[in-house]
């Protein structure tokens, strides 16, 4: 079942995204057979037991479900200039897997982040007694943030993950996003990073962990400038652009 979802995502991406996989023709997508196929695959997951997914592929499975739900429901944004204008887009239940309903927030923060509160909130999305917690991937991977597609200009490009290849694919997603979005200024004294690193700093081990994560994925010239500062580096956080990334 998850293999069919992967195939449907790949066909949709090839048909409706630009070469960089970062902008989508949402108008064409809304009336396309690729979206219909994707919707059918998501519908079939209601009878799918996610415990059948092998441990190395658990995060990949839920990331694909998240991305598929965003794309299936993208027509809700037809009249919006920003994803944030669509009330409850991330909060409302959107998909059933194994008989349990999930919102996008449930998948991202409840499962993939190990039931940790969303930025700015004090409570976790799922109660301790929630049966859905049985499907939290056994291994937390902070690189999920660079494979979750949110249909806005600051979103990472659309990725389709392939089960046990997911480790290499998540690393490629993290590296590509860091190199595209991070800016090293003042000969390494300032490093401008995407807002996601501020929202979820705890996922990376705090500010020092954010810097280590970024430096490990920058090109050699940028790393050399930062290393020459001998720790005297300030992190600055870029604004997040929620505008819909129409092709």
Give me the residue label for tokens 């309903």: 101
Q: Please, are residues 69 and 95 in contact by the beta-carbon 8 Å criterion?
A: yes
Lowest mean pLDDT among 14-18, 29-33, 60-64, 229-233: 229-233
What pLDDT is recorded for position 1? Answer: 61
DSSP sequence for 11-56 = HHHHHHB-TTS--B-HHHHHT-HHHHHHHHHHHHGGG--GGGS-GG
Q: How far apart are CA 195 and CA 217, in angstroms?
A: 17
Lowest mean pLDDT among 49-53, 91-95, 211-215, 240-244: 49-53
What pLDDT is recorded for position 65? Answer: 98
Q: Please, are residues 30 and 76 in contact by the beta-carbon 8 Å criterion?
A: no
| Length of the chain counted residue by residue | 247
Q: Please, are residues 59 and 141 in contact by the beta-carbon 8 Å criterion?
A: yes
Q: What is the mean pLDDT of residues 147-175?
A: 95
What pLDDT is recorded for position 95? Answer: 98
Lowest mean pLDDT among 29-38, 80-89, 234-243: 80-89
What pLDDT is recorded for position 37? Answer: 98
Tens-place pLDDT, residues 104-143: 999 999 999 999 999 877 889 999 999 999 999 998 999 9
Tens-place pLDDT, residues 163-203: 889 999 999 999 999 999 999 998 888 999 999 999 999 99
Domain boundaries, the chain: 2-174, 180-237
Given a cut of 90, whether residue 227 has pLDDT beyond it is no
Q: What angle do CA 85, 66, 75 make, to 5 degrees?
A: 40
What pLDDT is recorded for position 10? Answer: 97
Q: What angle do CA 5, 60, 36 make, to 5 degrees?
A: 20
What pLDDT is recorded for position 81? Answer: 87
User: Residue 233: which pLDDT band, with cuts at 50, 70 and 90?
Assistant: confident
Overall pTM surpassing 0.85 (yes/no): yes
What pLDDT is recorded for position 196? Answer: 96
Pairing of strands 100-103, 183-185: unpaired
What pLDDT is recorded for position 80? Answer: 87
Helices (H) and strands (E) in the chain — how many of each? 9, 5
Pairing of strands 93-97, 100-103: antiparallel
Tens-place pLDDT, residues 26-44: 999 999 999 999 999 999 9
DSSP sequence for 58-90 = HHHHHHHHHHHHHHHTGGGGTT-SBGGGSTTTT
- As a whole number, the mean pLDDT across the chain is 94
Q: How far apart are CA 178 and CA 202, in angstroms?
A: 18
Q: Which residues of 103-133 are buried (b: 16+ CB within 10 A; e: fewer)?
A: bbbbbbbbbbbebbebeeeeebbbeeeeebe
């Amino acid at each position: 079942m998850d293999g069919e979802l992967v195939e449907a995502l790949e066909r949709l991406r090839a048909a409706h995204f630009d070469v960089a996989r970062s902008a989508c023709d949402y108008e064409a997508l809304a009336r396309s057979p690729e979206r219909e196929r994707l919707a059918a695959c998501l519908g079939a997951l209601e009878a799918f037991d996610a415990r059948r997914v092998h441990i190395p592929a658990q995060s990949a499975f839920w990331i694909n479900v998240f991305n598929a739900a965003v794309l299936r429901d993208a027509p809700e944004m037809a009249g919006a200039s920003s994803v944030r204008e669509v009330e409850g887009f991330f909060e409302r239940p959107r998909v059933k897997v194994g008989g349990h309903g999930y919102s996008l927030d449930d998948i991202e923060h409840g499962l993939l982040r190990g039931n940790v509160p969303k930025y700015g909130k004090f409570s976790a999305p799922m109660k301790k007694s929630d049966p859905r917690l049985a499907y939290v991937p056994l291994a937390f991977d902070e690189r999920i943030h660079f494979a979750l597609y949110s249909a806005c200009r600051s979103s990472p490009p659309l990725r389709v993950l392939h089960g046990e290849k997911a480790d290499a694919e998540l690393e490629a997603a993290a590296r590509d996003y860091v190199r595209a979005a991070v800016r090293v200024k003042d000969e390494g004294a300032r490093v401008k990073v995407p807002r996601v690193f501020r929202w979820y700093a705890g996922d990376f081990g705090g500010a020092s962990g954010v810097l280590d994560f970024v430096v490990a994925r920058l090109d050699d010239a940028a790393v050399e400038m930062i290393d020459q500062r001998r720790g005297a580096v300030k992190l600055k956080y870029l604004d997040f652009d929620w505008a819909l990334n129409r092709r």
